[in-house]
A and B are shown apart, each in its own frame.
Chain A
């Protein structure tokens, strides 16, 4: 399966994301922000980093990159799409996901290993996990506080669109401890912590993150 990994100017987790894709058994295809051609990929990952220097708002300028026009079009047709960290911010700015990511409540840039619990295993990105499974993956961001209005929060909760929550203390002020969400259709997932940095014991705190990359392969070959 062909998994596109997008590089924007300022992206920094694209290599790790591509490595995780390969470790999960798929082929990683590099996609460039300035090129609207998706190179016949089956799914796309928007990796973490500081695209366009986080200028204006995180993800606000990336949203209008030529590659995003194609990605938004395909995602609206059902193509699976995962945004990690800055990628999650791009998905919210693109209105593919509701809400917004704002400055961490204590203003500090966070970099730590974080336990999250997987709440929704029906998406193509989370199907390898069991509901309620706790996993340990890195969390590193300055603007990871998930915010939305009460009506949006109620519908996210009611429709099972929260795919992962932080466990323990709320690290960044996110509403309802939200670490990741999906859209109503379930094909687009945004996640603040980084599964691609936790795919083997040599380079990560665990291999728990690999589940996202094996999930998508299983979902697509079914």
Chain B
């Protein structure tokens, strides 16, 4: 069984108040490494056997139509071994 991962992130120019809140919480806990934090979504999709190019194309389509909103978000589809 293989896992197809879709990462969805807000486009760089879109304000991410959740990421900003995390970024400002980190130093309060003594973590001073971050200059910026962006928060996104990760979808893990399981398919039977190795994903076929046709399946990956379908996932791309689903990512475009449902999993992301292209107005404000970008997505990346990859197969996780």
How many of A's residues come within 8 Å of B, CB to CB? 20
User: A56, A98, A145, A149: which contacts B15 (Cβ < 8 A)?
Assistant: A145
A10-25 vs B: 1/0 string, CB under 8 Å? 0000000000000000
In angstroms, how far is the closest chain B Cβ from the Cβ of A141? Answer: 14
Q: Which of B27-35, B49-57, B67-75 forms contacts with chain A?
A: B67-75
Q: Are A92 and B17 in contact (CB under 8 A)?
A: no
Q: Does A163 contact B (CB under 8 A)?
A: no
Docked-complex contact B72 and A102, CB < 8 angstroms: yes
Residue A147 at the chain B interface, CB threshold 8 Å: yes
Binary contact track B11-37/A, C-beta < 8 Å → 1, others 0:
001110110010000000000000000
Tell me the residues in window 136-162 of chain A with beta carbons closer than 8 Å to chain B beta carbons. 145, 147-149
Bound-state CA distance A147–B11 (Å) is: 11
Of A46-54, A104-112, A121-129, A210-218, the one touching chain B: A104-112
Main secondary structure of the interface of A (DSSP, over half): loop
Task: Using CB atoms and an 8 Å cutoff, list the residues of chain B in contact with chain A.
Answer: 10, 13-15, 17-18, 21, 66-67, 69, 71-72
Top 7 nearest A-B pairs (CB, nearest first) are A100-B71, A100-B72, A107-B17, A103-B17, A105-B17, A100-B69, A57-B69
20 extra interchain contacts, Cβ-Cβ under 8 A, other than A147-B72, A149-B13?
Answer: A56-B66, A56-B67, A57-B69, A60-B66, A64-B66, A92-B71, A99-B71, A100-B69, A102-B10, A102-B14, A102-B72, A103-B18, A104-B17, A105-B15, A105-B17, A107-B17, A107-B18, A107-B21, A145-B15, A147-B15
